[in-house]
Structure 1
Amino acid sequence: MKLDSLHALNAERAARRAAVLVTDLDDGSQRLVREIEISTDPLADILSRRLASGKSGLVEAEGRQLFLNVQAPAVRLVLIGAVHISQALCPMAAALDLSVSVIDPRTAFATPERFPEVPLVPLWPDEALAGPLPPLDRYCAVAALTHDPKIDDPGLIAALKAECFYVGALGSRKTHAARVGRLSQAGLSPEQIGRIAAPIGLDIGAVSPAEIAVSILAQIVSTLRVARPHAAKSGVLA
């Protein structure tokens, strides 16, 4: 890798932004395509699919052999609520190499005994996301699971403003309708609120906490891995 490409790639890594290093195997030339530039690149479709998969590899384009070195930030999963669903979700997410943390100001629920080896933040979400936890970004998934608007809503607002790639909330359609009203009053746009997966998870008929956890995790993976158009100006994933 050329030194200037390495410096540029390291800058994107440090900022938790994705990039693809394109190497022409015929002549050895290289160029770095930042995520925000993908939509205007001649290889936009190929780069989008590769970035969605998170995998590097060989491709052929216009009769040339190219190696695409995909660099994407590690995905973080932030759970709002130390509930039974969260207990089931944490080990499943860890098995997929997701970095998981749980926020819940209710210290009776957020205990190491209930969440062994899981980072717990016993603060209100707005406090947790402004301090102990790293800032949310577009490589974060946030799931609000408490059913308590005082806890869930601040986490949802922060996630939507940070353009997290996945934002989900537990509750019925009636519950979500009330939530939409609150979030609208909080100043979020219909487009922002429309990004919330609610009721949360894929519709697999889940009934137990573990089954609901499976449906949520499947929806997160589906959202992450489906290639989407990249906005040239904002770089928004979805």
Structure 2
Amino acid sequence: MKLDNLAALNAERDARRPAILVTDTADGSQRLVREAEFAADPLAEVFRERLLSGNSGLVEIDGRSLFLTVQVPPVRLLVIGAVHISQALCPMAEALELDVTVIDPRTAFATPERFPDVALLAEWPDDAFARIGTLDRYTALAALTHDPKIDDPSLIAALNADCFYVGALGSRKSHARRLERLGEAGLSPEATARIHGPIGLDIGAITPAEIAVSILAEVVATLRRDRIKGRTAGKPADCLRHDLDA
């Protein structure tokens, strides 16, 4: 790989923007395609497929053999609330190679003893987000505290940042009240409709571990743009589609 292309790829990685390096295997020529250039590129549909899978590899285009080096930002999962569900959720999410951070200003809950080997911020969400950096389309957020003072600012920030997955714990009644509060805070019905609430796939989950499974299944389904119960997962998260259509 040429040094200038490597430097450009590193710059895109640091900015959490996807990029694809196209290498012609016949003559070694290369071109770097950045996020803003995906939609207009002749290989746009091929890029779409590769971005969804995140896999690099060879493709045959018009008799040419091209190697696509696909760089996709690592998927982050921000867990709002150091609760029992979060304790079950974190190791499962890490097994899926998600970059997990737990955020909860309640220091009695947000302790290293309860969350060993997990990035843990005992701060209010706005302060934690400032420390983490800009939320983006490769970020999932699960609000689990049941406390509007903590959950609502998190949901507002995630929706405004177009996070690919935004979910909130609570019954249908509590979610309806949540939607009213967020509407009063200035969010449109179209924005709040993107919240997965009650959070998780409907698998009849009861225990914290079962609820954690349902949440992660919904996160993965949204990321992969599956269709669940007639809705396109990725209502917000055509995160990868946006990369091509923006």
Q: Shared topology, TM-score over 0.5?
A: yes
Separation of aligned partners in 2, 1:25 and 1:105 = 53
Separation of aligned partners in 2, 1:10 and 1:128 = 25
Report the alpha carbon displacement of residue 121 of structure 1 after superposing the two structures with TM. Answer: 1.3
Match of 1:89 in 2: 89
Matches within 5 A, 1:35-46: 35-46=35-46
Mean CA deviation greater in 133-142 or 80-89:
133-142
SS of equivalent to 1:182: helix
Report the alpha carbon displacement of residue 183 of structure 1 after superposing the two structures with TM. Answer: 1.2
| Contact 1:39-1:229 at 8 Å conserved across structures | no
Report the alpha carbon displacement of residue 229 of structure 1 after superposing the two structures with TM. Answer: 2.6
Match of 1:161 in 2: 160
Amino acid at match of 1:159: A
Match of 1:172 in 2: 171
Aligned residues: CA RMSD:
1.8
Separation of aligned partners in 2, 1:157 and 1:89 = 22
Separation of aligned partners in 1, 2:101 and 2:114 = 13
Match of 1:112 in 2: 112
Separation of aligned partners in 2, 1:111 and 1:177 = 31
Unpaired runs of 5+ residues, structure 1, are none
Count of aligned pairs: 233
Matches within 5 A, 1:113-152: 113-130=113-130, 132-152=131-151
TM-score, scaled to structure 2: 0.88
Q: From 218, 229, 238, give the equivalent of 2:241.
A: 229
SS of equivalent to 2:132: coil
Mean CA deviation greater in 24-33 or 83-92:
24-33
Residues 55, 232 of structure 1: alpha-carbon distance in 2 compared, 3 angstrom cutoff: closer
Amino acid at match of 2:6: L
Identity of aligned residues (%): 70
Unpaired runs of 5+ residues, structure 2, are 226-237
Q: Deviations over 1:121-157 (max 9, x none)?
A: 1121122212x33332222111001111111001111
| Contact 1:38-1:230 at 8 Å conserved across structures | no
Report the alpha carbon displacement of residue 4 of structure 1 after superposing the two structures with TM. Answer: 3.2
> Are residue 212 (structure 1) and residue 211 (structure 2) matched?
yes
Report the alpha carbon displacement of residue 231 of structure 1 after superposing the two structures with TM. Answer: 5.6
TM-score, scaled to structure 1: 0.91
Separation of aligned partners in 2, 1:11 and 1:173 = 43
SS of equivalent to 1:229: helix
Residues 23, 143 of structure 1: alpha-carbon distance in 2 compared, 3 angstrom cutoff: same
Report the alpha carbon displacement of residue 232 of structure 1 after superposing the two structures with TM. Answer: 5.8
| Contact 1:39-1:230 at 8 Å conserved across structures | no
SS of equivalent to 1:68: strand
